[in-house]
Each structure stands twice: as C-alpha cells, then as structure tokens.
Structure 1
Amino acid sequence: MIVITALVLSGCGTSPTDSSSRYSIAQDRAPKGNFDVSGLEDAKPRYETPRKAGNKSPYTVWGKSYQVIDSNGGYVQRGVASWYGEKFHGHKTSNGETFNMYAMSAAHKSLRIPSYARVTNLDNGRSVVVRVNDRGPFHGDRLIDLSYAAAKKLGYLGTGTARVEVAAITVRPDGSMTLAGQPFGDNTASEPTVGGGEALFVQVGSFSQRDSAQTLLDRVRQFVGSPLRLKEVVTTEGRFHRVQVGPFSDESEALAAQSQLENRGFEQSILLTDSH
C-alpha cells in the first residue's frame, strides 16, 4: 500500500511548505560542487514485472484525486518539468525504493511505476531516458519531476523548470520496446545491457581539480582490491579528473563493486563505459 506521506512529499516543487521532521533540509537544493554528468548514461529500459507498490488508483494528495493510467503504451504529453534533489536524497519513493538524486529517475502523477520515459527539453533539444519510480509533482501544472542529475543533463538546473515532452517507453517481456506506442530500439528479444560489450567502470567522483581527485583515489584504494585509475577528460563543461574503479568485463561484477563502494560511503558512484 502506498504511504500517503511519501506521495505528498515526493518532488522538488511538491511540498513547498512542508516542515516534516523526516527531512533534515527545509528547502530543496542542489548538492555542493560541480557534479559531472557528461559520462552519466541514460536509464536502461528493461522489462519489470508489474507490481502494486506505487500504483494505487485513485489516490489523493492535498485533497485532490489522481488516477494512475491502466497502460503506459502510447503515452506522450508536453508540459513543465521541475526537479528534486538533496532534500529528498536517501528517502523512500512512492514504490518503496530509495531516491538517488544522482540517478536517472523521475516522478510522475499518472504513469505506472516503475516504468521508463524519454524526456526532451523543448528549448534546447536535449533528451534523456529516465526510470519513473515516484509520484509527483503536485505543485501547479507541472508534468514531471526529474532527479537532479537528469535535470542537469537536460540543462535546466539554473532556470528550475523547462518545457518538455514526455514519451513513455514500454518494454515487453521479450525485451522489445515501444516509444509512445511506436517501435523503439533494436526490438530484439535480448534485454538491453549497460556497456554493449565495452569495458565497464564504476566512477566514484569527478573533479575540476586534479588534487581533489587524487585525494579521493587514495581513499578508495583503502577499500577496494580492483584496479583504479584517474582519467582526465575535456567536456563542454570543462576539464575533469575522474576517479574510476575497473575495468570490468561483466556487468554483474561492476554492479557488485558499485554496491561495495556504496556500503563504504561512496554514494555518488555511476556506472559507465570506457567510451564515456
């Protein structure tokens, strides 16, 4: 059963007057520092067994009733996107998962969850694929709340909101996909995987200053037995020094290393390929 307080409190613009003690931050905000999203991959759509968690319909928030649609197939809509970040980081989403502002995720009022969607910023043409695992936003006429990382990739952190198009991605049990009801991806029967055969790395941090990256690398070395590297890249946002664990040839090994790092307190890690 959905916990109504989780519904009410999800999303950057959802509860501007909330003073609940479950949050240590009164006003939502971006994390400190310049989080590098240039190597952050989109969410990878895959088939997930339908579940009850987060899909109660109708549900009520602030006295207003909302309906969860019966099927995401064919869904495409334009509207306003906002974002949510540090205030909600580490707290439960509407389907019981833990919100990670550094992951490519989103909150939506009516799409079935968990699910996937392509979100396009209509002002700059950028698109991302996110996994929808939360309810919201319940503020004004906003259509979708993206995680901090997803909003940064779409380029609207500074303005707070953007005009977007949201198109649902439906994944069938055989792995084939549709985007807003139309064939999408390679539509083969295999499940999409991170990396596509390329070497995988777990990136623990990315810094504009090499000294900061070296300090983190020295810390990580105390906890992992896997190879480490300090990779320098130049992106449109500047020069970055990335602390990465790997390479891994198998996704399961990379995910296991990422879990180990998170258990050691390195919670901002992302999984990427050597080409990113």
Structure 2
Amino acid sequence: MTERRRAVFAGRRVITNATLLACVLLIVAGCASQSPESGRIQQGPSSYTVKGQTYRVRSDATGFRQTGEASWYGPGFDGRRTASGQIYDMHKLTAAHKTLPLGSRVRVTNLSNDRHVDVLINDRGPFHGNRVIDLSYAAAQRLGMRRRGRARVRISVLGANRADTDHTKPRATSNADNYLQAGAFDRRSHAVRQRRRIRSLGIDAVRIRRGTGPRALYLVQVGPFADTSSRRRVRQRLSTRDITAVPLDG
C-alpha cells in the first residue's frame, strides 16, 4: 500500500460519529447552499438515527432541564462544519446536544463548583457513554472542567428555544469573557513564536487572531478565563518572563 493510501485510511479511522452525523444532517436539510459564515442556524430534520438509535428533536424546549455528565471537544473539530451549518470555533460558547432544537440557548452549571456558562446549541452529540452535552473548549474552560475533561452538570434552557441569527457570543455571565492580549505583530511567524513562548509556561489557551483595518496585525490572546483572579494570576506569571499582557473585555 502506498504512503498516500495509508494516510487516507488513517484519516478515515479518526472521523467520529459526531462529524459523520453533522454531514448527514446538512445533506438532509439541504443546507450546503448557505454560507456557514452567515452565522444562521439550520434546523435539520425532526429526527435522525445514529448507531441504530433514533433521536427525536424537541419541537419546544421551554422549561427543559437535565442533569448528567458533560464533556468537551476542541482542536480536532475546530474549523469543521456543525449540524447547524455554522463553522465550529472552539473559542466560542457553543455546545452539542442530542435532542434540543438547534439554536437553543442553555445555561450549563458545573455541580462540583457552581460555575455556570450560557451556550448556544449548534451541533448534535455526544453519542458515546452516558454524556448529555458536549461543550466547546471555551465553555469547558469557563466551567473549570477543561483539564479533567468531564463534569456533572445541570442544563437549563434560557428564553426562546430557537435562533435565527448569529448568537455564538452569548451574554456574559461574569468577567470570564476576558482575554489577555500578549502582543501584536506584523508577521504571523512572530505571533506563532510568541504563542510558543507562552505555551512553554504551561499555558495552553492561547490563540492568534487577525486584527482589522488597513494595517491588520496578528494578535496573540490568552484565555478566556473563568474569573478575574485566574486572569490576574496568568498575567503575573507572564510578567515573570517579560511578556506584557493587557486585559481585553470579551
């Protein structure tokens, strides 16, 4: 077998059920014609089947509450299309749920530390184990469950259960929306070097964003943070390595 074929087969093996489901839902709903950058939510079918089990999407999620185990998904899915048609951005506050209408806004509370975060349901899953919701990286960070990977949570639907426009930046519930900006560079290679320096300190949540304007710079940002004290500790840690970081309100 050639190296190219080996690479193709290896790539196929790592495709997850969530990714396959997203593709199926988009085909059934005929969503491919709409640009995911528009941020609009595609509802998809009222029911679907995964691993022989059929899931029926709730027509009305008003008053919905659920308790169970949460997990999170991140870099391996970043930039891929979700079941709603939106592009998954692990730094936005979103989540996957099996039966809530796509576009639902829910509050997820970590029962072990009482932290909470408001997220947009824009994907389907999780379909393994007894987990009830798959959170984005940013949401997991907010709840203080990123390192452990799982947490027992309570899910409560907020307000209207549908969304027509881009709601991937839900209302902030605390100062946890804040980032630290640790540099602005003309060249992406310099921003990558700065990110590498920060990660060498054991700080994983570092992103590079392109600024706007005629002379757009590459911005190195650390976060989001669960609270202002966490942000302050990281800022002090960066300063010990002569890295200047400025708080940004999300």
The TM-score bracket by the shorter chain reads 0.5 to 0.7
Distance 2:63 2:161 in 1: 14
Distance 1:132 1:103 in 2: 11
Unaligned runs of 5+ in 2: 1-11, 17-38, 163-168, 173-177, 188-208, 236-243
Q: Match for residue 51 of structure 2?
A: 62
Q: Does structure 1 retain, via aligned residues, the 8 Å contact 2:97–2:124?
A: yes
Of Structure 1 and Structure 2, which has the larger fraction of its residues in helix?
Answer: 2
Q: Does structure 2 retain, via aligned residues, the 8 Å contact 1:230–1:243?
A: no
TM-score (norm 1): 0.52
- Please, which moves more after superposition, 109-118 or 229-238? 229-238
Which letter does structure 1 place at the counterpart of 2:234?
A: R
Q: Does structure 1 retain, via aligned residues, the 8 Å contact 2:69–2:153?
A: yes
Given candidates 226, 236, 244, the residue that maps to 2:230 is 236
Q: Does structure 2 retain, via aligned residues, the 8 Å contact 1:72–1:170?
A: no
Alpha-carbon distance, 1:242 to partner? 4.4
Helix, strand or coil for the counterpart of 2:109? Answer: strand
**CA pair 114-242 structure 1, distance change in 2 beyond 3 A:** farther
Identity %: 38
Given candidates 180, 200, 203, the residue that maps to 1:206 is 180
Distance 1:131 1:116 in 2: 5
Given candidates 138, 145, 156, the residue that maps to 1:149 is 138
Alpha-carbon distance, 1:206 to partner? 3.4
Alpha-carbon distance, 1:58 to partner? 1.7
Q: Match for residue 169 of structure 1?
A: 158
Structural mapping, 1:97-176, within 5 Å: 97-171=86-160
TM-score (norm 2): 0.57
Distance 2:212 2:85 in 1: 29
Q: Does structure 1 retain, via aligned residues, the 8 Å contact 2:62–2:160?
A: no
Distance 1:218 1:151 in 2: 32
Alpha-carbon distance, 1:156 to partner? 0.7
Distance 1:128 1:169 in 2: 11
Q: Match for residue 19 of structure 1?
A: 14
Unaligned runs of 5+ in 1: 1-16, 22-47, 174-191, 196-202, 208-212, 245-271
Q: Does structure 1 retain, via aligned residues, the 8 Å contact 2:71–2:149?
A: yes
Q: Does structure 1 retain, via aligned residues, the 8 Å contact 2:62–2:161?
A: no
Number of equivalent positions: 172
**Cα displacement string for residues 34-65 of structure 1 (whole angstroms, at most 9, x for unaligned residues):** xxxxxxxxxxxxxx99x6x3441220112211
Distance 2:230 2:108 in 1: 21
Structural mapping, 1:244-255, within 5 Å: none
Alpha-carbon distance, 1:140 to partner? 1.1
